[in-house]
Structure 1
Amino acid sequence: MKDLDRRLNVGVFLCHLNAEYVIDLSAGIIHAAADYDVNIRIFPAMYVSAYNNPSQPAEYDYQINTIYDYAIDAHLDIIIISLGTLYSFIIQDQPETFLDKFKDMTLIIMEEQVDGYYSLMLDNKVEFGKCVEHLIVDHGYKKIAFINGKKNNRDSEERLAVYLNLMEKYQLPVDPSWLPYGNFSKYCDNTIDELLDKNPDLEALCCANDMMALVCYRVLKKRGLTVGKDIAITGFDDVLSSFSAEPPMSTVSTNVHLLGYRSVVRGIEVYHGRKPEVEIIPSQFMQRVSCGCSNIRPNIYHNCHYNIQECVERALTFTMHHLDSEPLTQGFRSYLTQLFELCMSFETGLSTDEFTERFSSLLKKSLHEDWFNLLKNYKLNFAIKDFLTLVMAHANDPSVKQYLNDQISAMIDFILSSEAQKKEVHASEERRLRWLTSRIVRESLINANDINAVLTQMLNTLHLIGIRASYLYLFDAPIIHNPMNTWHKPQQIQLVAYHHGPDCFILHDEERITPIGELFDNKHVASDERQLLSVYNLFLNNEQYGLLVCDLTEEYLGTAYTVSLEISTAFKFLNINRRLMNISTTDELTHLYNRRGFFDQVNSLVSINTGKTGILFFADLDNLKIINDCYGHEAGDQALISAASILKQSFRRNDVIARIGGDEFIAFALLEDTTLINHIENRIDKHTLHFNSEKKLPYFVELSYGYTTLTCTKDITLNEIIKQADELLYERKKQKRPSPLRGEGES
């Protein structure tokens, strides 16, 4: 039964959060979540080795897949899956097998078509066809290579099919060596070099995405060739760097933001009963210079009536390209209306000073609007510049025309300077984030013996980076997950620490235990506010340590992933450090502390509990030599392990217990109440009696013990106090049975 009154929870499976494509996609999803008031839970597939960088090993990429299993129990109503990226690079199963895990939820598929599910895809055919045909018909190129994306990827295959069909239509040859796979990678330099070495007479390189096209720019520059003159280049996606490339890249502009936005809207509609179908998000061919065209473009308002409403709508279509978000569209429409009204009213009596002040104020205002980051700045530039040109064409006064022309120059300077400022701010922020994240491993090692200090430092770093709240979950022990093994999701996990803003909280014992289905919904995380939560695997190589859940804003999605890598590395080092410490401070047989471990722990406790009373127990396993002689050393070892178990059951969790010799044990406890001594003695006797009556071994496991009390001071000498406890122990041993063997020592 669907609860229609509560806020829906939408899970999102995305791949590679730092990629421009995914940044745009997630922005659309997050804006729709705000407009429709739904919670977002992001499960990012971030590579250990990003698929597109062959210099990094992909040996442990399989670890990423485990993140999806946590979505099954996460109380999600809708899951949006970027299947085009996930399936190509991460998922090992067939799509249907993978999707079947989530059959009880409403699924929306992006970038691929899967029968039975609502599928949203970008248009790979119409506008890309215009791009290829432009190279063939308008420029007359005959030797055109196509740089493929990745094998078995729908986008890549559809774009290849368009290219092949048009080459066949115009009876142009296609050599197999003209069709290399660049894997959608910004590191495919070798592929492009090999292509050009084999085919030095190619006239055009048609690329399946902008990243590979930008590699072509780089390779051509190294060879001393000019893009657009010696060889034409086209791309696909219209990422921001495609316009700022020199020369500007001819490409197909995809509305990735709209794809993300619609996926949320359609998810809600399907959840409420809409039938699955296939929906295509339109694209747009952007004819620029890299294809061989001149840098001349038509005014975007050509054939447009000279009135504000029509010009505003033309500008909206050009800049926002089918944006669905009504609040953002209305905000931008209102801004353009104000700006265009100001420009058209210049001849009606405004002084140049007043116009300049208001014009400058409106330009600066744009930097702080919600819609500003959704626009490609060059489009906003053209929309305003072309409108001023239109106003100039209708102006009668030459001085007005000159003044407006000056304003165009000033506007371009403003946008360029704001772009430069944005880049500097971004670079400065990147330096700050690198510095903050670099501290995590170093300070974790410095504080390796104080886990609370380590956890607090990690959370403080997450807060300083700008993340609103973080929740650090750890497994009881690191899970070794190898590629040949089936992943078994744990049923519970420990929430060891979290922060809300600057406030950090360390949890202890039972309050840490969290059912795996409550990662996002427990008393520490629950909130009445709409949430954007993202969960990250904490792992290194084949070891999984836990999960990091972050409540954050969209600009920190990729940053939180980077921090999760640093935290994973810190836990790897801490785990190694703990193993080394265990070797040097732990008794291998009983897993109690050894002599060194005992003295380290007790000296630390005594120093921080000055003035408090403590109790020191010294115990021997009775007649170990006889057990060894009669039943062998394996029996003797088992007797020692059993004695250690009796002591662990008899003391409290925070008390310190050690084996410091062949048959010798020692324990320390803070004495909050004098009755504790009797309780410990009674528990030792009780557990000893229970063990011997239950196990029915051919020998008795019994302990002789002595104790002494002490006052904690920083200059206390433990060895002297141990001697006192030892003397009392031997007094007690005189009262014990002479033989541990059943029948001989029994009375």
Structure 2
Amino acid sequence: MNKHKRYNVGILIGGVHTYFPKEHISGIATAAKELNINVCFFLGTQTKDFFEDMLGGTHKDSFDYQFNTIHDYSLMGGLDGLIINYGTLGLQLKNETAEKFARKFNSIPTVFLTEIVHAHNCHSLICDNRQGIQLVMEHLIQEHNCQKILFVAGPAQNTDANERKKTYLEMMAKYHLPVKPKMIAQGDYSEFVDKQIEKLLDDNPDAQAIVFANDEMAFSGYRVCEKRGLKVGKDILITGFDDCERASGMEPPLTTIQQDGVLMGRMAIYDLVDKLDGKNVQSRRVPVSLCVRESCGCQEQLPEIHNTPVNLTEQIHKLNRTITHMKLELISFQRKSWFIPSLARSLNDCMEDEHAFLLEVMKNMRELRTKCTYLFLLDEPIIYHQNDEWVCPHDLRLAAYYRNEEADAFHLYDRQPVTDQNGICQLMSDHERHQFMIFLLFSGEKQYGLLACDIQQEEFPFFYVISLQIGLSLHYLEISKAEARRRQEMSRNLELVRERNRVLGFISKYDELTGLLNLRGFTEQIKKLCSSETNQRAYIICGDLDHLKEINDTWGHPAGNFALQSVARILGGCLRSQDTLARVGGDEFLILLNCEEENFQDIFRKRVKDACTAFNTESDKPFLVEISLGIAEFQPKPDTNTQEIIALADKDLYEAKKHRRKSVRRPEA
């Protein structure tokens, strides 16, 4: 049982859709469990060649380059150490040396896989590429007397690939066999190098053998040879490198170099933990062996072939286990794939509410039975073009999580930032061991953040697709938010138009909201009364809806409009048909009437108060509609200064408003 603390280790690895990186992941995961440490896989992949093979022609809309940025996010992870599979991290690194790349990460102990580096705090694990190619070449030359041997190289920036190519050239020179440039094709370690092999065979119709720098490119060689009617193992000999799961199941079985990717992954974890424990760890090479099968022209029944590292029965068992495992993975993926349209639909239903959207993501993670999941978002999406200089953003925040059967999401102002001191690992810290697969969330040229899922290795393909769907949905959410902002701007513009129309409405005779006269209409009526010289006592009454602002702020403008319309009805009900009622401002009303009744002012105030009480008794609104009144008496004459009369009524209103309620909210509301 280990005595060290539970370390948090990051693994930077690309090409995870291919065999050997998957072997590394398997070995790392197994060793991490044995040593009781947390691991965070920062995953990259390349799909361009796959889509080109499936769709035909050039897949122009590939954004695989986005995956080449995910390793920089590990710098804000708060990790104790790193394992870097340098050779798989993508084409972005083609102009960056391993030493320079190592210096960016060597602030913490680091193990480099498939690459040799000489940097502080770093050491390397790499297979014995030279020995492997020597074994292959000697077998083809000595056992099969091959003279014209072609070579399909791996990525130019990959050390494994370069060592294998260099050894091929050295072995051809050792046996005095000529090599022309057209005898070497440049591959990329993927299974989709058909075009390169087609040209290679066109240029070398007399070729006897092809040495491939890895097995997956050799599978492409099988496919091309079959199309040309060439029988592998007879018309042309083929060898690979890796001994991946499909090698022994090819027809004919592939002769290859066997290197143990699982072992290398385990060694990387144990070496890194030793470094973290303060032990001295040296760089080393992992031994390889030649696995002879029929693709090189050997016949399995020949007794003289003894250098196969595993016997036929073990190979068959291994292949059967692989086939069964792949079938189970396919069945599981097919069943889960029905979940993806459901996820897209449920997220689409939340486009009006970002908080609900994030919570829905976490609820779906719970349904998928992840151990726990964390969603980290950038404050604003960033646009990264392939030819731009990459600068890792520093505004990553925890936006949502699912753990211990609890799902929650945060609004932007509540999101916890991810920093070097408070990194991804610290946000995930608890008493349990975790294995996080971390996916980049992007759509096209825009990056949105990271998705970290505590899942098993075999679940990666499905959750990779899930991460692509979430990235796409985040893009739609961004569009929805932009549309909402545009709608708000349009609403503000419409409100401005309405305000201008309200100003223009004073030119007309009637108030649009209440149907009453407006200021102009009221002015015409008071002029008409004063010019008639009736010699009757008249009154101008200023009415004011109490606390209109409170109603608007608390219950909204529709409620305020309802209150104003109610005031118009209440006052109208207290007047005679020949009296004049107008709305002359937001909450201001004016009344003009003539009356000889004694104590009219007290009587009218009580009448309006009683009418308000009756209205509020019947109303189901959470607020009261009440009216303050100011009354001024005058004798109508042609020379009457009506503005002075209105000012007197307004002064009386001001005194009345001192006695209004402090709030019109109903006590029970």
**TM-score (structure 2 length as normaliser):** 0.70
Q: How far 1:62 moved relative to its partner? A: 4.2
For 1:415 and 1:445, the matched residues in 2 are separated by: 44
Equivalent runs, 1:564-579 vs 2, <5 Å: 564-579=467-482
Q: How far 1:268 moved relative to its partner? A: 1.8
Q: Alignment partner for residue 70 of structure 1, among 53, 59, 73?
A: 73
Q: CA 1:420–1:162 in structure 2 vs 1: closer, same or farther (change >3 Å)?
A: closer
AA in 1 matched with 2:195: N
| CA contact 1:119–1:278 (8 Å) conserved in 2 | yes
For 2:91 and 2:128, the matched residues in 1 are separated by: 19
AA in 2 matched with 1:520: I
Q: Alignment partner for residue 512 of structure 1, among 415, 424, 430?
A: 415
AA in 1 matched with 2:586: Y
Q: Alignment partner for residue 445 of structure 1, among 335, 348, 357?
A: 348
Q: CA 1:575–1:52 in structure 2 vs 1: closer, same or farther (change >3 Å)?
A: closer
AA in 2 matched with 1:213: A
1:131 is paired with a residue whose SS is helix
Q: Which string of whole-angstrom CA distances, capped at 9 and with x for unpartnered residues, describes residues 59-114 of structure 1?
A: 64443344233322322121111112226554653323322222320111111111
Q: Alignment partner for residue 557 of structure 1, among 460, 466, 490?
A: 460
For 1:63 and 1:416, the matched residues in 2 are separated by: 35
AA in 1 matched with 2:174: K
- Matching residue of 1:100: 103
| CA contact 1:147–1:207 (8 Å) conserved in 2 | yes
Q: Which string of whole-angstrom CA distances, capped at 9 and with x for unpartnered residues, describes residues 555-575 of structure 1?
A: 223432221111101111222
Q: How far 1:418 moved relative to its partner? A: 6.4
- Matching residue of 2:314: 382
For 2:62 and 2:403, the matched residues in 1 are separated by: 36
Equivalent runs, 1:147-166 vs 2, <5 Å: 147-166=152-171
For 1:415 and 1:63, the matched residues in 2 are separated by: 36
Equivalent runs, 1:407-486 vs 2, <5 Å: 421-483=324-386
| CA contact 1:186–1:215 (8 Å) conserved in 2 | yes
- Matching residue of 1:280: 285
- Matching residue of 1:12: 11
- Matching residue of 1:604: none
Q: CA 1:252–1:721 in structure 2 vs 1: closer, same or farther (change >3 Å)?
A: farther
| CA contact 1:186–1:211 (8 Å) conserved in 2 | yes
- Matching residue of 2:35: 36
Matched, 1:109 2:112: yes
Q: CA 1:92–1:707 in structure 2 vs 1: closer, same or farther (change >3 Å)?
A: farther
Matched, 1:127 2:30: no
Q: How far 1:5 moved relative to its partner? A: 5.2
- Matching residue of 1:700: none
Moved more, 39-48 or 200-209: 39-48
Q: How far 1:186 moved relative to its partner? A: 0.9
Q: CA 1:428–1:460 in structure 2 vs 1: closer, same or farther (change >3 Å)?
A: farther
Q: How far 1:259 moved relative to its partner? A: 1.1
Q: CA 1:112–1:480 in structure 2 vs 1: closer, same or farther (change >3 Å)?
A: same
Q: How far 1:215 moved relative to its partner? A: 0.7
- Matching residue of 1:228: 233
Q: CA 1:114–1:224 in structure 2 vs 1: closer, same or farther (change >3 Å)?
A: same
- Matching residue of 2:658: none
For 2:386 and 2:584, the matched residues in 1 are separated by: 57
For 2:319 and 2:210, the matched residues in 1 are separated by: 30
For 1:535 and 1:515, the matched residues in 2 are separated by: 15
Equivalent runs, 1:264-663 vs 2, <5 Å: 264-275=269-280, 277-296=282-301, 381-382=313-314, 421-483=324-386, 487-500=390-403, 503-508=406-411, 510-517=413-420, 518-521=422-425, 525-583=428-486, 585-587=487-489
For 2:38 and 2:162, the matched residues in 1 are separated by: 34
For 1:93 and 1:165, the matched residues in 2 are separated by: 27
1:125 is paired with a residue whose SS is helix
AA in 1 matched with 2:468: L
- Matching residue of 1:310: none
Q: Which string of whole-angstrom CA distances, capped at 9 and with x for unpartnered residues, describes residues 90-147 of structure 1?
A: 4653323322222320111111111133111011122321111111111111111111
**TM-score (structure 1 length as normaliser):** 0.63
- Matching residue of 1:185: 190
Q: CA 1:502–1:37 in structure 2 vs 1: closer, same or farther (change >3 Å)?
A: closer
| CA contact 2:551–2:560 (8 Å) conserved in 1 | no
For 2:587 and 2:114, the matched residues in 1 are separated by: 81
Q: Which string of whole-angstrom CA distances, capped at 9 and with x for unpartnered residues, describes residues 318-372 of structure 1?
A: 56xxxxxxxxxxxxxxxxxxxxxxxxxxxxxxxxxxxxxxxxxxxxxxxxxxxxx
| CA contact 2:329–2:458 (8 Å) conserved in 1 | no
| CA contact 2:150–2:184 (8 Å) conserved in 1 | yes
For 1:90 and 1:580, the matched residues in 2 are separated by: 38
| CA contact 1:120–1:281 (8 Å) conserved in 2 | yes
- Matching residue of 2:45: 46
- Matching residue of 1:258: 263
Q: CA 1:466–1:732 in structure 2 vs 1: closer, same or farther (change >3 Å)?
A: same
| CA contact 2:76–2:424 (8 Å) conserved in 1 | no
Work out the percentage of aligned pairs sharing the same amino acid: 29
Unaligned runs of 5+ in 1: 304-316, 320-377, 384-411, 597-618, 626-680, 682-703, 735-747
Aligned length: 527
Q: How far 1:178 moved relative to its partner? A: 1.0
Q: How far 1:153 moved relative to its partner? A: 2.0
